[in-house]
């Protein structure tokens, strides 16, 4: 089996999408390929078919490789709950909650597990494309590293380092990264990639040549800046998505501890919809659809909404707008959130926004399920699917207005209710992440808005098919930008050009 590891000069330089692109390229070329990230820190997570939790970046990479996402692609997931604390998830299940120092001291015990799991991957796939985290030059963490050079050494993987030129200082970042590596670590680096380039490549070439002379490693290519509808890890795109650029304005509240903001990604495949993120009340404007997303600390984020004035904006907007609360957002829309066990906070209870007739009690047990079912609205019935990740139980005071009936949970037949809607059918709450991926429900909500705005009704695209097209576009961009012959040489494999067909 061949393997290659993509590391970066820092966070958000594009490692995840380069890995996804390589997975799709190798798949197109006829190889069986698997993505792998030993440790991911993210509040964007996903539930697999067997009810386990993993990072969303490896989910996209799995789709790029033509695989169903499984937790061995991301065996350790860290979900921050505060600046120095996080929930540690190992092999898809909650391990415990730890401070940064506690987890740093714990990492060494995972090494044997990671190596053993990786050896099993070597038996199953032709190629494993590995992803690092942050930067390998975080020298303060080197002694217990299990995600960058420490992981590469553990499984003897060659490394390519990616730098983001859009941030500025890419040559210094690449050269500085190499400078801070040990001699043994530098030996693993087989080349560099410059990512997110805008401009004339001829003007960049002298700098690339000088960099090669300085670090004694070849440049494997320059990837241009691109705009594709592909989810980006940990909100790197959120900062620029502030403007309304289409007829329908879908706005997402940017909670301090926002999680699974990718729930809104599928809206970007709709030609007449733009998605933007609201951090301050001054940015609220007049959205056509307001989404209150998930949160890793619902009580603290609800307090933040109250303190910032955004709660008042939401209440005013509710008189004429359409609101969808998902998971933590659903809990906030109710009358009260209780935390008697102090699961999230030292606060035992907090008054909710009060737009839905519900009360939520936070509990220690974490719900992690894949679900399917149907919407129960008076003027719409349609299939939905998605997944639940939450630590609360919500009671409806009006259970005749439950939003959905679920009939499948982790593949098992069930019958239970989810969510709620108000009598005007303008405010909806649900625990189901990915509910908008369901074509029929997304089309219903958007056509409701189009009718209100006297726009023509539209048929919504199937998001999964749209995502496949975007992944193929991503692969084409990266294939045409990189020296794939050299990358195959690093892998020790032959490039199967005759297989390149999709």
Catalytic (active-site) positions: 327, 433
Take residue 455 and report the two structure tokens written for it. 């726009």
**How many Cβ atoms are within 10 Å of 463's Cβ, its own excluded?**
21
DSSP code, position 455? P
Q: Can you tell me the distance from the alpha carbon of 190 to that of 162, in angstroms, rounded to the nearest whole number? A: 12
Residues in a beta bridge with 404: 375, 418
400, with CB counted inside 10 A (0-12, 13-18, 19+), is exposed
Tell me if residue 123 falls in helix, strand or coil. Answer: helix
Which tokens hold the place of 102? 């506690």
Tokens of 389: 């990740």
* Contacting residues for 168 by C-beta, under 8 A, at least 6 apart: none
Q: Are 173 and 163 in contact (CB under 8 A)?
A: yes
Question: What is the distance between the alpha carbons of residues 426 and 41, in angstroms, rounded to a whole number?
Answer: 35
Check if the beta carbon of residue 17 is closer than 8 Å to that of residue 471: no
CA distance 342 to 329: 19
Q: If DSSP codes are grouped into helix, strand and coil, which group holds residue 272?
A: coil
Q: Are 141 and 182 in contact (CB under 8 A)?
A: no
Residue 440 tokens read as 């029929």
- The structure tokens 């991503």 sit at 474
Structure tokens at 112: 């044997």
Alpha-carbon distances, residue 239 vs 248, 275, 350, 490 (angstroms): 20, 12, 30, 36
Distances (CA, A) of 63 to 44, 89, 467: 16, 22, 9
* CA terminus-to-terminus distance, the chain: 24
Residue 313 DSSP SS3:
helix
Distance CA 429, CA 438 (A): 16
CA–CA gap between residue 435 and residue 264 (Å, rounded)? 9
Reduced to 3 states (helix: H, G, I; strand: E, B; else coil), residue 217 is coil
Distance CA 45, CA 49 (A): 13
For the chain, what is the largest distance between any 2 Cα atoms, rounded to a whole number of angstroms? Answer: 71
């Amino acid at each position: 089996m061949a393997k290659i590891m993509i590391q970066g000069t820092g966070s958000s330089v594009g490692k995840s999408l380069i890995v996804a692109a390589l997975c799709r390229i190798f798949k197109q070329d006829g190889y069986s390929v698997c993505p792998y990230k030993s440790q991911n820190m993210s509040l964007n997570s996903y539930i697999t078919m067997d009810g386990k939790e993993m990072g969303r970046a490896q989910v996209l990479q799995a789709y790029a490789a033509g695989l169903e996402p499984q937790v061995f692609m991301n065996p350790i997931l860290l979900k921050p709950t505060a600046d120095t604390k996080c929930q540690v998830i190992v092999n898809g299940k909650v391990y415990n909650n730890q401070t940064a120092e506690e987890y740093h001291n714990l990492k060494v015990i995972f090494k044997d597990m990671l190596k053993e799991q990786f050896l099993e991957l070597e038996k199953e796939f032709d190629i494993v494309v590995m992803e690092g985290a942050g930067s390998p030059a975080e020298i303060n963490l080197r002694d217990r590293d299990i995600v960058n050079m420490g992981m590469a050494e553990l499984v003897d993987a060659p490394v390519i380092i990616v730098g983001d030129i859009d941030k500025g200082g890419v040559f210094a970042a690449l050269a500085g990264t190499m400078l801070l590596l040990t001699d043994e670590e530098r030996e693993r680096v087989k080349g560099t990639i410059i990512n997110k380039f805008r401009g004339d490549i001829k003007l960049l070439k002298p700098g690339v040549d000088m960099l090669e002379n300085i670090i004694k490693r070849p440049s494997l290519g320059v990837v241009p800046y691109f705009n594709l509808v592909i989810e980006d890890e940990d909100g790197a795109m959120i900062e620029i998505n502030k403007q309304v650029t289409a007829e329908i304005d879908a706005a997402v509240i940017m909670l301090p501890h926002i999680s699974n903001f990718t729930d809104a990604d599928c809206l970007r495949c709709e030609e007449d919809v733009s998605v933007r993120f609201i951090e301050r009340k001054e940015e609220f404007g007049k959205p056509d659809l307001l989404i209150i997303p998930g949160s890793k600390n619902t009580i603290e984020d609800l307090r933040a909404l109250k303190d910032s004035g955004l709660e008042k904006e939401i209440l005013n907007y509710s008189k004429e707008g359409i609101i969808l609360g998902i998971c933590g957002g659903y809990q906030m829309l109710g009358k009260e959130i209780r935390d008697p066990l102090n699961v999230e906070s030292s606060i035992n209870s907090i008054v909710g926004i009060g737009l839905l007739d519900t009360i939520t009690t936070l509990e220690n047990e974490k719900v992690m399920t894949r679900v399917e079912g149907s919407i129960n609205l008076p003027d719409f019935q349609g299939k939905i699917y998605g997944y639940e990740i939450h630590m609360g139980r919500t009671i409806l005071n009006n259970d005749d207005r439950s939003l959905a009936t679920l009939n499948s949970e982790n593949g098992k037949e069930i019958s239970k209710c989810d969510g709620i809607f108000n009598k005007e059918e303008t405010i909806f709450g649900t625990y189901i992440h990915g509910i908008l991926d369901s074509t029929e429900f997304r089309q219903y909500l958007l056509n409701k808005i189009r009718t209100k705005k006297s726009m023509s009704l539209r048929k919504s695209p199937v998001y999964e098919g749209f995502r496949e097209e975007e992944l193929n576009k991503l692969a084409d961009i990266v294939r045409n930008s990189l020296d794939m012959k050299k990358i195959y040489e690093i892998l020790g494999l032959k490039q199967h050009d005759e297989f390149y067909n999709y």
